[in-house]
Structure 1
Amino acid sequence: MCVRPGTQAPEFETQAYFRDGGIKPVKLSDYKGKWLVLFFYPADFTFV
């Protein structure tokens, strides 16, 4: 699968850190109808 700018992101579920002090599961569909900016850092914290 290839994701390109300007195309719809595929549905996914992952864990995210929230400022209230916890890591919680989130799904893309949780934000349906809202503006959302996604950032991916594939090599972050890997010491490559």
Structure 2
Amino acid sequence: MNDPNASVFCAGRGDRAPVFIADAVIDHQIKKVNLENYIGKWVLLFFYPSDFTFV
């Protein structure tokens, strides 16, 4: 995960999301989601990890 060649993306209003693959919970199962599968469609990206961690 600590790739020294990775660039940092800081999203701003109206920016397009970079293409990525990530784990997501879909129908109570963890599945891989590829943003390329949603090109041309409306997508809501929801990131709120603090609420789902057991601290």
TM-score (norm 2): 0.66
Structure number having the greater helix percentage: 2
- Structure 2 equivalent of residue 39 of structure 1: 46
- Structure 2 equivalent of residue 13 of structure 1: 21
Where structure 1 has 5 or more consecutive residues not aligned to the other structure, the ranges are none
Runs ≥4 residues deviating over 4 A: none
Percent identity of equivalent pairs = 43
> In angstroms, what is the RMSD of aligned CA positions?
1.6
TM-score (norm 1): 0.72
Where structure 2 has 5 or more consecutive residues not aligned to the other structure, the ranges are 1-8
Higher relative contact order (CA 8 A, sep 6+): 1
